[in-house]
């Protein structure tokens, strides 16, 4: 092993990322002496960066625009990442780097912490890499998954993500699917969903899941909470996907098991909220 243990989150832009806050908090809890940084990396720089990762690296987290590019760079791609064509995690398996997605479990655990119900209708806003993770996570939780998209070419990538439920598509301007949705998931980039905020008619008991945590809170989440409806914020997603990343990347160096999940998640969420300047009770 070469020197100080380290890990990082890669992407662009990356300065807003809370991943360093969460992973450093986890390392402290687990007694792991390792660094975790945010590094600005473009798609055309990823191959070179990974090629220089020596045995001191525990792994890396990937955010946009690298979640698809990393599939070409990894030595191995697990079946889940291959199916959804997205990975947010590189971790070491022997001498090789394996790509996987912890975003799928992140969505599942974040929802399970707030609701155990099944849904008749799930609506996903957007059709990119994050949307594919959401579709895979909630396949089986909803009999019908409707994806609101702006580009038809995304349809082919979405198809393999849903095998148990019925997958439907609607154009971005078609809001009728929102009216009877039990769960609405926003996976669009910051600002894109703002136009929906003023038109978000929904069932009184519907749940809104906002995948973003920057800006905090998003306009969509603010609008939803103003109706006193149930909402899940992007920090919960970030926390739960991070827990799975940490488990994978530190397996060979940990001297203790991870804490019970809800306890661990609560500690990481508090650290994230503090970094956002938000009351930990939020």
Could you write out the DSSP letters of every residue in 133-165? Answer: HHHHHHBTTEEEEEEEES-GGGHHHHGGG-SSS
List the one residue out of 147, 117, 113 whose CA is nearest residue 130: 147
Q: With 0-12 CB in 10 A as exposed, 13-18 as middle and 19+ as buried, what is 229?
A: middle
The half-sphere exposure of 130 on its side-chain side, counting CA atoms within 13 A, is: 24
Fold observed for domain 110-235: Rossmann fold (3.40.50)
**Range(s) of the chain covered by CATH 3.40.50.10860:** 5-104+237-276
Pick the CATH number of 5-104+237-276 from 3.60.70.12, 3.40.50.10860, 3.40.50.2300, 3.30.420.40: 3.40.50.10860
In tens digits, what is the pLDDT along the chain, a chain of 282 residues?
Answer: 567 999 999 999 999 999 999 999 999 999 999 999 999 999 999 999 999 999 999 999 999 999 999 999 999 999 999 999 999 999 999 999 999 999 999 999 999 999 988 899 999 999 999 999 999 999 988 789 999 998 899 999 999 999 999 999 999 888 888 888 999 999 998 877 766 655 566 788 889 999 999 888 888 888 888 876 789 999 999 999 999 999 999 999 999 999 999 999 999 999 999 999 998 765
**Range(s) of the chain covered by CATH 3.40.50.720:** 110-235
CA distance 107 to 85: 16
Could you identify the residue written with the tokens 């930990």? 280
Say if residues 267 and 24 touch (Cβ distance below 8 Å).
Answer: no
CA distance 89 to 101: 6
Query: Where does the chain have alpha helices with state H?
Result: 19-30, 46-51, 70-73, 79-84, 103-112, 129-138, 155-158, 176-179, 194-197, 219-226, 234-249, 261-276
Q: What is the pLDDT of residue 197?
A: 57
CA distance 49 to 16: 21
Three-state secondary structure call for residue 168: strand
β-pair type (207-210, 89-93): unpaired
List the one residue out of 212, 176, 218 whose CA is nearest residue 195: 218
């Amino acid at each position: 092993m070469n020197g100080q243990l380290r890990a990082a989150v890669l992407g662009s832009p990356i300065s807003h990322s809370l991943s360093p806050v969460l992973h450093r908090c986890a390392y402290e809890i687990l007694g792991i002496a390792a660094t975790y940084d945010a590094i600005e990396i473009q798609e055309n720089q990823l191959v070179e960066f990974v090629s220089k990762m020596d045995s001191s690296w525990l792994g890396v987290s990937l955010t946009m625009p690298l979640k698809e590019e990393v599939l070409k760079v990894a030595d191995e791609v697990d079946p889940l990442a291959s199916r959804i064509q997205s990975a947010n995690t590189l971790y070491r398996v022997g001498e090789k780097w394996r790509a996987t997605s912890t975003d799928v479990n992140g969505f599942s655990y974040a929802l399970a912490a707030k609701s155990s119900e099944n849904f008749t209708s799930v609506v996903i806003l957007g059709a990119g890499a994050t949307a594919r993770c959401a579709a895979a996570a909630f396949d089986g939780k909803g009999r019908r998954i409707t994806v609101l998209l702006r580009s038809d070419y995304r349809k082919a990538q979405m198809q393999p993500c849903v095998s148990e439920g019925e997958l439907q598509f609607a154009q971005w301007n078609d809001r009728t699917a929102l009216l009877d949705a039990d769960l609405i998931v926003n996976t669009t980039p910051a600002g894109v969903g703002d136009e929906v905020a003023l038109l978000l008619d929904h069932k009184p008991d519907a749940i809104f899941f906002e995948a973003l945590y920057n800006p905090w809170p998003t306009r969509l989440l603010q609008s939803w909470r103003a109706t006193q409806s149930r909402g899940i914020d992007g920090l919960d997603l970030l926390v739960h996907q991070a827990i799975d990343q940490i488990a994978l990347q530190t397996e060979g160096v940990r001297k203790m098991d991870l804490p019970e999940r809800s306890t661990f998640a609560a500690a990481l969420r508090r650290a994230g909220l503090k970094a956002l300047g938000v009351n930990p009770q939020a």
